[in-house]
């Protein structure tokens, strides 16, 4: 009964966006549920392999059709045009189903794990359907694994007050990240990026910084809300962020940013390709493949592929020097302040990350290069100035306070997990109400979650 209620709620939640695409979610769920059972019951390896590739092919086919068809059609026409031929590409006027990249990867990991004999198929359709469509993670992750989530769904759950309180606390912090940090940064970032040709290099640097905190507050805020909501139902989802802007190198950054996607590509793409076991050229090839595919997963635009390739370039020297596993522990663990060396490493890694985010946010490759070129001009020395800049200093101050709280709570699952727990109740609740009042104070123009488009 618990799972039936969760399933109906999840389908209603998805249908509120666009009920027509609920049939696509249902089809994808039924396909992987059925092929999982058929693979397990297959009389031989050949039949097993046929069912496996049927599921993978159909899943990737739907994803490619809705998400990448127009990109390939336009890119093909542009490539032909460079040869002196003119082709009018036939594009589709169809919206991208929200969450398709996430629930497709849920199903793919389930089918791959069955094919590799890591799990047995779930024969209860309701249980499996909840795994695919559990509403907190349905539209923007984290990308769950059947090995982690299905056992929690199968067993009955009893309300746990301590877990629920922790979940509410995590949701509170997630809403703060989204509304107070991400949404306030979004207005400034959009203004600067959308009119970058009219602004100085210093203003463009400010725009890149605003987007850097916008995307972090937006996506990690959603993840905190999703994880906190799941705890109310007695379910623990995979952690998706671990304070990535305190990373000391790019390898550590990718262990802390969108963890569920990074680990998915590592387990289902990087390792099957040979990982780091082969020669130098194989390691370089696999690194570029995984980063560029990760970029392409984010969207059908060359800017995302460039973003992935740039991160691969960042990562290669660390990997080739065999230093990509150097920073596994939390920075300055048990200390209030980092060392000068740690602070310098964090600053360099953060600067490289900000540069890469320019490609992620830019409308095109031309836009990205023009943006960076303007930053490198003499106008970098001018005072930042842009339309609607009133109040931007308040936003910068909020970012500073936000990062201070993140730093204080960096050894926990989320920033305020333990902050105030030892305080007397009036002081602890004063902090929670201060966060709540701040959230309502800054509620304004609605900004859709960035990762809804992926």
Q: Of residues 106, 258, 298, 367, which has the active-site annotation?
A: 298
Residues 192/206, Cβ–Cβ less than 8 Å: yes
Counting DSSP H helices and E strands in the chain, the numbers are 18, 0
* Pairwise CA distance, residues 241 & 253, whole Å: 10
* Pairwise CA distance, residues 409 & 26, whole Å: 40
Residues 62/104, Cβ–Cβ less than 8 Å: yes
Per the annotation, the verdict on 327 as an active-site residue is no
- Residue 182 makes CB contacts below 8 A (sequence gap 6+) with 213, 214, 215, 216, 217, 218, 221, 447
Can you list the alpha helix ranges (DSSP code H) found in 241-339?
250-256, 259-265, 280-298, 302-320
- Nearest one of 259, 402, 407 to 346, comparing CA atoms: 407
- Nearest one of 116, 180, 114 to 146, comparing CA atoms: 114
Three-class SS state of 180? helix
- Residue 1 makes CB contacts below 8 A (sequence gap 6+) with none
Catalytic residue numbers read: 298
């Amino acid at each position: 009964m618990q799972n039936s209620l969760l399933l109906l709620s999840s389908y209603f939640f998805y249908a509120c966006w666009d009920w027509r695409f609920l049939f696509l979610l249902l089809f994808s769920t039924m396909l992987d549920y059925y092929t999982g059972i058929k693979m397990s019951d297959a009389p031989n390896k050949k039949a097993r392999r046929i069912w496996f590739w049927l599921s993978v092919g159909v899943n990737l086919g739907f994803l490619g059709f809705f998400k990448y068809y127009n990109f390939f059609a336009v890119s093909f026409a542009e490539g032909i045009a460079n040869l002196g031929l003119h082709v009018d590409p036939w594009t589709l006027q169809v919206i991208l189903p929200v969450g398709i990249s996430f629930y497709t990867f849920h199903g793919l990991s389930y089918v791959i794990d069955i094919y590799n004999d890591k799990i047995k198929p779930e024969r209860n359709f309701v249980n499996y359907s909840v795994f695919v469509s559990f509403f907190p993670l349905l539209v923007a992750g984290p990308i769950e694994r059947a090995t982690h989530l299905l056992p929690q769904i199968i067993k009955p759950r009893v309300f746990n007050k301590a877990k629920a309180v922790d979940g509410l606390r995590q949701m509170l912090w997630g809403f703060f990240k989204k509304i107070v940090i991400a949404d306030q940064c979004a207005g400034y970032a959009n203004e600067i990026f959308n009119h970058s040709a009219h602004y100085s290099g210093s203003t463009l640097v400010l725009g890149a910084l605003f987007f850097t905190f916008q995307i972090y507050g937006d996506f990690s805020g959603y993840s905190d809300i999703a994880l906190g909501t799941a705890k109310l139902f007695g379910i623990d989802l995979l952690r998706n962020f671990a304070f990535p802007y305190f990373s000391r190198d790019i390898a550590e950054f990718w262990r802390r940013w969108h963890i569920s996607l990074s680990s998915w590509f590592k387990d289902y793409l990087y390792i099957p390709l040979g990982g780091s076991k082969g020669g130098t050229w194989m390691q370089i090839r696999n690194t570029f493949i995984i980063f560029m595919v990760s970029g392409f997963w984010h969207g059908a635009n060359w800017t995302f592929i460039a973003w992935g390739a740039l991160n691969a370039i960042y990562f290669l020297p660390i990997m080739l020097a065999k230093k990509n596993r150097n920073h596994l522990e939390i920075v300055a663990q048990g200390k209030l302040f980092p060392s000068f060396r740690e602070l310098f490493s964090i600053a360099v890694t953060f600067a490289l990350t900000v540069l890469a985010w320019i490609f992620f946010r830019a409308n095109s490759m031309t836009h990205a290069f023009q943006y960076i070129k303007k930053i490198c001009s003499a106008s970098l020395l001018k005072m930042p100035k842009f339309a609607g800049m009133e109040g931007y200093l308040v936003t910068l101050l909020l970012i500073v306070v936000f990062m201070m709280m993140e730093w204080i709570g960096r050894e926990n699952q989320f920033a305020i997990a333990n902050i105030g727990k030892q305080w007397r109740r009036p002081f602890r609740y004063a902090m929670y109400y201060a966060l709540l009042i701040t959230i309502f104070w800054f509620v304004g123009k609605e900004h859709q979650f960035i990762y809804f488009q992926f």
